[in-house]
Amino acid sequence: MEIKVLEKGKNKLVIEVKGEDSTLCNAIRKELWNDDKVKVAAYNLEHPSSDSPKIIIETNGKDPKEALLDAVKRLKKENDKFRNTFLKEIK
């Protein structure tokens, strides 16, 4: 995975995520919407076989980088919870 910052402003961040597809970007987009300071959370994948997705974040009073990092932390916590529950269940 490679991440390239395409646009960075006070309330807007656009990044390109090379080596990933809609699966990761959709999870991040969905989690970003759980932050009340996020006013735009989207991703764009022009063509699945040739392009890298771009994640677009716009905020209202919060650093968009922090909003993204917070969303990723929450996703990691949910994934860890799922993993632990699954491991208990399959023993």
Q: Please tell me whether residue 20 adopts helix, strand or coil conformation.
A: coil
Q: Which residue ranges of the chain lie beneath pLDDT 50? A: none
Which top CATH class is 2-89? alpha beta
User: In sequence order, what are the residues at sequence separation of 6 or more whose Cβ sits closer than 8 angstroms to the Cβ of residue 42?
Assistant: 29, 55, 56
Distance CA 32, CA 40 (A): 9
Q: What is the pLDDT of residue 77?
A: 97
Q: Is the pTM of the predicted complex or chain greater than 0.85?
A: yes
Give domain limits for the chain: 2-89
